[in-house]
Amino acid sequence: MAQQQNNPRPANTAASGLSTDKAGWWIRLLIWREKHIPDKTFVVMLALIVGIAAGLAAVLLKTLIALIANFLTSRFVTEGGNLLYLVFPAIGILLASLYVYYIAREPISHGVTRVLYALALKKSRLKIHNMYSSLIASSVTIGFGGSVGAEGPIVFTGAAIGSNLGQAFRLTPQTMAMLVACGAAAGIAGIFKAPIAGMLFTIEVLMMDLTAGAAIPLIVASVAGATVAYVFTGYNVEFFFTQSEPFYASRIPYVVLLGIFCGFVSLYFITLIDRIERQFKRLRNRWIRWAVGGITLSLLIFLMPPLYGEGYEGITRLINGDVTGIFNNSLFYSYRNNTAAVLMFLFALGAFKVFATAATNGGGGVGGTFAPSLFVGVMAGVFFAILFNTVDIIDLDTPLSIKNFALMGMAGVMAGVMHAPLMAIFLTAEMTGGYDLFLPLLIVSASSYAISRIFTPYGIYSRRLAKRGELLTHQKDRAVLTLLKMDSVIEKDFSIVHPDMSLKDMVDTIAQSRRNLFPVTDDEGMLLGVVQLDDIRNIMFRPDLYRRISVHRFMAIPPAKVVVGTPMEKVMKTFDDTGAWNLPVIDENGKYIGFVSKSKIFNSYRQVLKHYTYD
């Protein structure tokens, strides 16, 4: 494990003057632990605790959502519309927004994005209330019909459990980041009963490096989270799926086409949610935001009841071939056997799920975009299969399997939205038991991810932070450079010379300096050029030239100048373009400030990167 240089270990508490007897039982326990339990062993023990706690939190969250939803909708009629759909969703996001505003007192939605932010810029520190606040707010939001998922909140909850446990044991930022990742992995594993997907989530979405030291804690936490879910809810998959129709190799071209289609659906999902939520943020009054979000959400759910909550009931029906079941509780129930109506309804459900999700979060609800991406993916897959089966453009020997393509669509959109193809493949297989479709799941996920990546370099979770320049976990080399500030790498101990100084004065200045580089400025401090010791070495020992040559005769123009405040990534590109090792720094008016060197940047880079690497 990487040792922390700047954060003292618990034993240093006594060394700093605080008596062990007076430090309290907790500090004594920390000191005892450090002496008797190796760090790597202790992290694995904590990973197990985090995994169990996150698994319990996942079970609790799913139970609360189910209890609230069943209580509210158990008496709804199946053969027609239900007016209470116009009321419940708006009440849910109102209650959640009141809880966030008056009790949590800070935004807690977009849980995965907030975990990424904590990993990048808060040394993996999350507050105590984050261990339960998302559970409360999201269970109310989703139980009352909010069209979002529970996965984002459970990731936030699991990560907060890991973070606070790490803070309690005074662990290093590197180790706390590992425990945050363990909590997130266990949350996904527990909510979906998918331990492999939980691990892959931390690797592809949170971008945790899977080193030898990181693999074991992640495995322990993921397996523990899934095991807890199995103990309390039974050894069954999240979505019941039986493959009654085999997959033929002749279907591969259609799978590739589905992947491309899912890639563009993913772009629609990412782009539209981002735009709609930005429009909600422009509404300064939170009551207006709630009214707009509540009315939009309630109307959409009244017209299309499958949008209610996570949408898992609709997903289960479709992956088992029950297409007509999505018309239950709706005004369009009588059209359930009309193929054109089915296609239109599937298209509308996929298209407007994005609006419903954005309205839920924008109006003050708390939930994630994980489940909505699964929902949209299933709709896309079924729509694709029915469309090809109905339109006589291509003569198919046997119709495309609606069940199989529903499953593939789920994986495809998930891969494109989250930029996590491996997680999409294994999560779909683990939570449905559809391992026999592993090859088509691989093809559709890879195709969708490739299309999405061409148009946007970031998935839905990292996109928000990337726009603000606060994303460290992805593309670490570039991200670490964004954390380096110009002020921290500017060196100012250079002796300044002037163009009218004689060679004799220049030699005297060199004798008193420890540098071999000298900035040349005028009387107002404007940078005119530089003098390098190597350039005048052949004349500096000729006394006959001391009074005859002035600095302006041998000074040189620097290959480039860096304006203070320039992003460090651009500074490094300037170094690469010029081949220089030192560059002068000036202000906006051209006045000399100091020099920046490659060696100084590299040293600072290594110090920053060290705090975000777990071995």
Residue 71, classified by CB atoms within 10 Å of its CB into exposed (0-12), middle (13-18) or buried (19+), is: exposed
Question: Structure pTM?
Answer: 0.77
Residue 238 lies in a domain: no
CA distances from 203 to 210, 250, 269, 567, 593 (A): 7, 33, 23, 28, 42
9-37: b or e for each residue (b if 16 or more CB lie within 10 Å)? bbeebbeeeeeeeeeeeebeebbeebeee
Could you give phi then psi for residue 595, rounded to 5 degrees? -130, 150
Q: Residue 219: its pLDDT value, please?
A: 92
Residue 5 lies in a domain: no
Same domain, 319 and 220: no
For residues 371 and 210, give the distance between their C-alpha atoms in angstroms, rounded to a whole number. Answer: 26
Provide the pLDDT for residue 292: 94
List residues bridging with 592 in a β-sheet.
586
| H-run or E-run covering 315 | helix 312-318
**Same domain assignment for residues 338 and 442:** yes
Domain total of the chain: 3
**Do 464 and 591 fall into the same domain?**
no
15 contacts: CB under 8 Å, gap ≥ 6: none
- Residue 382 confidence (pLDDT): 95
Residues 149 and 67 in one domain: yes
How many Å apart are CA 49 and CA 70, to the nearest integer? 32
Looking at the structure, tell me whether residues 258 and 198 fall in a common domain.
Answer: no
Q: Would 1 be classed as within a structural domain?
A: no
SS3 category, 313: helix
Domain at 564, CATH number: 3.10.580.10
d(CA 256, CA 251): 9
Domain boundary residue among 233, 266, 292? 233
Q: Which amino acid is at 97?
A: S
CA nearest to 217, candidates 253, 181, 167: 181
Q: Flag whether 526 is in a domain.
A: yes
Looking at residue 481, its pLDDT comes to 53
SS (H, E, C) 417-461: HHCCHHHHHHHHHHHHCCHHHHHHHHHHHHHHHHHHHHHCCCCHH
Any domain includes 240? no
Residue 463 lies in a domain: yes
- 433 forms beta bridges with none
68 and 107 in a single domain? The answer is: yes
Q: Say yes or no: 217 and 139 in one domain.
A: yes
Residues 491 and 401 occupy one common structural domain? no
| Pair 229, 283 in one domain | no
Asked if the structure places residue 244 within a domain, the reply is no
Residue 398 is part of a domain; what is its CATH number?
1.10.3080.10
Residue 73 CA, chain-centre distance (Å), reads: 34
Q: Is 547 exposed, middle or buried (0-12, 13-18, 19+ CB in 10 A)?
A: exposed
Question: What pLDDT is stored for residue 476 in this prediction?
Answer: 53
> Are residues 467 and 494 both part of a single domain?
no
In 462-525, where do the E strands start and end? Answer: 490-491, 517-521
**Domain boundary, last residue among 233, 259, 275:** 233
State which of 474, 493, 523 marks the end of a domain: 474
* 412 and 289 share one domain: yes
The span from the CA of 366 to the CA of 146, in Å, is: 8
Chunked into runs of 10 residues, the chain (615 residues) has average pLDDT values of: 42 42 71 84 93 96 94 82 89 94 86 80 83 94 93 92 91 86 93 90 76 82 95 83 77 93 96 91 90 94 92 89 88 88 94 95 90 94 92 73 92 93 90 84 95 89 69 53 66 89 89 89 90 85 84 88 81 82 88 85 63 55
Q: Give the separation between CA 375 and CA 383, rounded to whole angstroms.
A: 12
Range of the domain at 460: 249-474
Do 440 and 411 meet the contact criterion of CB atoms below 8 Å apart?
no
pLDDT of res. 141:
95
Tokens of 310: 């996570």
What is the number of other CB atoms lying within 10 angstroms of the CB of residue 554? Answer: 17
Same domain as 196, residue 141:
yes
Tokens coding 227: 């095991």
Q: Is residue 2 part of a domain?
A: no
Dihedral sign, CA of 23, 29, 30, 36? Answer: positive
